Amino acid sequence: MASRHHSLAHMTQQTGGLQVAGSEEAVEDLVRELGNPDEQMRWSAAYALADIGKPAVEPLIEALGDKRAVVRLRAAWALGGIGDLRAVEPLIAILRDGDWGVRSRAAQALGRLGDARAGEPLVHLIYDDMPEVRRRAVTALGRVGAATFTEQLPSPLHDEDWRVRLATIFVLANMENERADAMITETLDDEEPIVKSSARLLVEKRKETSR
């Protein structure tokens, strides 16, 4: 049976979908593969489940409660790929997961879903201990409607990790108001060259647009 599971995940990876794996009958096997010791197999199963779509939503939501972080992480990723709003509340619930990788992928998935319900819960993650979690939280906020939470953005704008600061600039780039303009201007003297150059390009672009 184990060899069948391994083969199934491998085939879905090689074919880029379900041409070999079949249909929704494969969901149970693929969810089991999310805990495979082989990382390549785990991601292969996650991609295949995302391809299956809606029939995989409920099993994936159930997998968010698995005791293994590797399963919760990939279940969250797959749910973001499917885009079914049934996953919003379960994903919000694991934003406080004890594993930072799970928190990161849950934030990413909520950003892909783009539902405003995730806005306030995501704000809490911009103060997370892990830079990657903060970066994904900021990016997700930009997709669920960060304009509602502009008062929170100065914190990641001055984050110690340049990737978080850069992600914040990209969020501000989609916000057309004086507050966003002023916040972007603050980063023109950023110590990280890529952050500074991105801010400069954005300021110049806005000036051209306003002419």
Q: Tell me, what CATH number does 84's domain have?
A: 1.25.10.10
Q: What is the CATH number of the domain that holds 208?
A: 1.25.10
Q: Same domain for 88 and 169?
A: no
Q: Same domain for 175 and 109?
A: no
Phi-psi region of 196 (alpha: psi -120 to 50; beta: other; left: phi over 0): alpha
Instruction: Report which listed range, 162-166, 170-174, 181-185, is most confident.
Output: 162-166
- Number of domains forming the structure of the chain: 2
Of 54, 50, 45, 55, the C-alpha closest to 12 is 45
Of 29, 7, 11, 28, the C-alpha closest to 19 is 11
pTM over 0.85: no
For the segment 79-100, what is each residue's pLDDT rounded down to a tens digit?
A: 999 999 999 999 999 999 999 9
Read off the pLDDT of each residue in 37-43 and give the average, rounded to a whole number: 91
Q: Same domain for 118 and 206?
A: no
H or E stretch covering 178: helix 178-186
171-177 — which CB contacts under 8 Å span 24+ positions? 171/138, 171/139, 171/141, 171/142, 171/146, 172/202, 173/202, 174/142, 175/146, 175/147, 175/150, 177/147, 177/150
Domain end position, chosen among 99, 123, 144: 144
Which residues, other chains included, contact 202 with Cβ-Cβ below 8 Å and sequence gap of 6+? 169, 172, 173, 184
Q: Same domain for 12 and 105?
A: yes
Q: Same domain for 99 and 194?
A: no
Q: Same domain for 136 and 66?
A: yes
Q: Same domain for 14 and 115?
A: yes
* % pLDDT > 90, the chain: 59
In terms of pLDDT, which residue wins out, 95 or 175? Answer: 95
For the segment 104-125, what is each residue's pLDDT rounded down to a tens digit?
A: 999 999 999 999 999 989 998 9
pLDDT for the residue 204 = 87
In terms of pLDDT, which residue wins out, 183 or 118? Answer: 118
pLDDT level of residue 147 (50, 70, 90 thresholds): low
Of 100-109, 141-150, 155-164, the poorest mean pLDDT is in: 141-150
Task: Give phi and psi for 114, each to the nearest 5.
Answer: 70, 25
For the segment 49-90, what is each residue's pLDDT rounded down to a tens digit?
A: 999 999 999 999 999 999 999 999 999 999 999 999 999 999
* pLDDT at position 207 over 90: no
pLDDT for the residue 107 = 97
Share in percent of the chain as helix, strand, coil (round to 5): 80, 0, 20
Domain end position, chosen among 144, 169, 202: 144
pLDDT for the residue 6 = 46
The average confidence (pLDDT) of the chain is 85
In terms of pLDDT, which residue wins out, 37 or 180? Answer: 37
Range of the domain at 161: 153-211
Residue listed under structure tokens 């973001």: 80
Read off the pLDDT of each residue in 20-26 and give the average, rounded to a whole number: 58
* pLDDT at position 8 over 70: no
Domain end position, chosen among 144, 161, 181: 144
